[in-house]
Amino acid sequence: MMKRHNPTSVVLVAAFAAMTIASAAAANFPVGTHLVKGTLKDWQNKVLTSSAAVTIQAVSTNGSVIASTKVANPSADGYNFLLQIPLSSTATDSTAAVSNTLNCVLVQESGLSLAVDPLVVGDANAVSTVCLALIDTKSYTATNGTDTTVSVASEYVDTIAAWMEAYEIEGEYDPFADYDHDGASNYDEYRAGTNPFDPSDKLAITAYSAPQNALHTIEFEYVGGHVYGVATTLSLTNPEWATQLVRKSETDAEHEQVMPSADEDAMGRTAIYVVPAEGATSQFFKVEAK
C-alpha cells in the first residue's frame, strides 16, 4: 500500500525555509556610502599635492582595507582627498557600519606607512571633514587651566628650537607662548606659516568693507599652500565664535575654508567674501589658518 505524504508538512517546511532566508537577509544589508573629505598636510602645515604620491586607507580593526584613495591636487577649498566608505547594517570585511572607528593609514610611494588619527564613520550619504598630517607630531597641553591640546610637527619643533637658541630664548618650544609679542601665539603662527620671531609677520585682517545689503569683503596676507577660514560673532561681550561660510570670489559657492594658492612659494594679499548675518546690527570677524 502506497504511503501518502501530508501536504501540510511540505507547506510548513517551505514557509519556515522562506522565513529563515528572510531573517538572514535582514541581518545585514547595504545602507549607502559615507564620504570623508580631507586635507593632508606636511610638516610646515602646507597642503600636499598629488606629487606627494600618498595613498590614504581606511582600515577596519581586523586589518581589512575598507576604502582607499590617492592624494590629489587640492581643490579651491583646500581639500585633497575623498574617501568613499561603503556602509552596511553590520560591518563586514569590505564594509563599515555607522559609528564604527576605522584606522587611517597613509602609504607613501616608497612603501613606508604611517598610522594617523582614526576615522569615525558617519551616516550614510553624509560628508565629514578631517585634517591629517604626513608627519611625526608632538602634543602640548596648555597650563592655563583650559586643557587645550595641540599637535605640532616634530621637524618644525626642531627647526624652531634652533632659532630659539639664536634669539636667546630659553626653555623648550612652547606653542602657547608669543615669542615676538605680536598678539599671535606660536601655534597660530605655525598654522599660518608666518614667522614666530617677526612681529611684522602674522595673520591679520588688512582691510575690510561692508557695503549695505552686499557681501562683506575681508582682505588679509596669505602664505601659499595654507588654508584659511573665518570665524564670526555678533558681540564681543562674551563672544560665541562660529564658523562663517566664505566665498573665494563674489560669484563662488560658499565653503568652510579657502586656499588662495597651492604654490608653496606664493604669498601676498587676497580677499574673501562673506554673506552678512540677516537682521544683525553688528557682526565681527576673524581670519583663521586651518
Every domain of the chain and the residues it spans: 30-133, 136-202, 203-290
Supply the CATH classification number for the domain 203-290.
Answer: 2.60.40
Residue 91 confidence (pLDDT): 94
Q: Is the pLDDT of residue 16 over 50?
A: no
For residue 175, name the pLDDT band (cuts at 50, 70, 90).
very high
Task: List pLDDT tens digits, range 22-78.
Answer: 444 457 899 999 999 999 999 999 999 999 999 999 999 899 999 999 999 999 999
Long-range Cβ pairs for the range 254-257 (8 Å, 24+): 255/76, 255/77, 256/77, 256/129, 256/229, 257/77, 257/78, 257/227, 257/228, 257/229, 257/290
For residues 30 and 25, what is the distance between their CA atoms, to the nearest angstrom?
Answer: 11
Reading the block at residue 195, the C-alpha cell is 614667522
Please identify, in words, the CATH class of the domain defined by 30-133.
mainly beta
- Enter the pTM of the model: 0.81
Mean of per-residue pLDDT scores for the chain:
89
Q: Give 275's DSSP letter.
A: P
Task: List pLDDT tens digits, range 132-142.
Answer: 988 888 999 99
